[in-house]
Amino acid sequence: MRYYSTNNRNLRVSLKEAIIKGIADDKGLFMPEHIATLPASFYTNIENFSLQEMSFEVAKAFFGEDIEHDALKKIVYESLNFPIPLVQLDTNIHILELFHGPTLAFKDIGARFMARVLAYFTKDQNEEIIVLAATSGDTGSAVANGFLGVPGIKVGILYPKNKVSAIQEKQFTTLGKNITAFEVDGTFDDCQRMVKQAFTDDKLRQQVNLTSANSINLARLLPQAFYHFWGYAQLKDKTRNPILCVPSGNFGNITSALIAKRMGLPIQHFIAATNINDVVPQYLKTAVYEPRPSVQTIANAMDVGDPSNFARILDLYNTSHFAITKDISGATYSDKTISATIAEVYHRLGYLLDPHGAVAYTALKRALRGTNDQGYFIGTAHPAKFKESVEEIIGEEIVIPERLQSFLKGEKKNIEISTEYSAFRDILLNH
């Protein structure tokens, strides 16, 4: 299959080129020229698949023309070797727990898949590749751990100073080996801007092989569709097509869900739930997209003022605001509401949400109120990753899982940089 740029549909490349480049030469994002509709038999038998079996069927629709099937199966099975349960909270509300992987965050799936696909395509290359990722928290830990020790690949993680949780920071600053963490004295948007500048710096790219591990890279984005199918597969009642609510920051997660719908996944409606960084919810109301500087909140992974993947959503719907709003609603909540939801759900149901899950739960609950509909939302991270904030909200100490505790024992090592791109560029060239 060929992949085109969102800036120019005539600019088309192979899957290998799309993944290694990360971003198109014209600064657009890559999209598949064709999104296959899965056969009716897939949905008839969906309850009988294991997670890995089902994901392999979806992966073949995406990558089957470009990756040999045995190799693709191995990549899928290795990437998804942990459970992803759908847990019922209220009568008509479920949470899809995507935090049972190595770093306890949903980005483990895409990062582990991408690391293996990139290794597949570069196994015969002699030149080293540098993978860059901007993070507001979980991307950094998932990418760093997914690529740790992969031969021929170095990873640079850019993150905003004092704007990720202590546990998240430890997960990508203590690894060493082929992982380098850059602590940027700015916001996530500054980190993302610097990564994008590197990819559009022609002189730099003539000297350094760069690719991105953010959701702008197709190999990170498309595998996220796997678990949207898996969430639906686990619903006991399939007579009512569900509403899917996705806590949204850079909008890669919900973009993969929209692609899954194009493949036939019977979701009746989507909710893009955000904190007060509500650029996309405002667009859904007004048809005007106005990026602005992000504001720091306790749901830090959604502190994004100019979501990269919004370009892909516009592309999917041919920039039709009417078509987009027919499928997607927006919801936005303050720290006060997020905190109140965490406390209420914990004390009423005995279930502890992380701040991002609390945003999604609130949005879905309000959307379902007074209806006979059902829905599920995406649980993106384990609440222990936000230990200080969550403990203050519920007034109790929470147990840190053993996997997170092991990161806390490591020594933080990073490179402190300003938001000036030139300084970052010099490091890429010289180190």
285 in active site: no
- Cα 215 → chain centroid: 6
Hunting for tokens 């170095």 — which residue is that? 154
Nearest to 189 by CA among 419, 429, 424: 419
How far apart are the C-alpha atoms of 205 and 214, rounded to whole Å?
Answer: 18
Say what the alpha-carbon torsion angle 216, 217, 220, 226 is, to the nearest 10 degrees: 80
Catalytic option among 21, 107, 163, 385? 107
Q: Is the dihedral of CA 67, 69, 70, 73 positive or negative?
A: positive
Task: Show the tokens assigned to 372.
Answer: 């006979």
Encode the chain in three state secondary structure.
CEEEECCEEEEEEEHHHHHHHCCCCCCCCEEECCCCCCCHHHHHCHHHCCHHHHHHHHHHHHHCCCCCHHHHHHHHHHHCCCCCCEEEEECCEEEEECCCCCCCECHHHHHHHHHHHHHHHHCCCCCCEEEEEECCCHHHHHHHHHHCCCCCEEEEEEEECCCCCHHHHHHHHCCCCCEEEEEECCCHHHHHHHHHHHHCCHHHHHHCEEEECCCCCHHHHHHHHHHHHHHHHCCCCCCCCCEEEEECCCCHHHHHHHHHHHCCCCCCEEEEEECCCCHHHHHHHHCCCCCCCCCCCCCHHHCCCCCCCHHHHHHHCCCCHHHHHHHEEEEECCHHHHHHHHHHHHHHHCCCCCHHHHHHHHHHHHHHCCCCCCEEEEECECHHHHHHHHHHHHCCCCCCCHHHHHHHCCCCCCEEECCCHHHHHHHHHHC
- 272: β partners: 246, 330
* Catalytic positions: 107
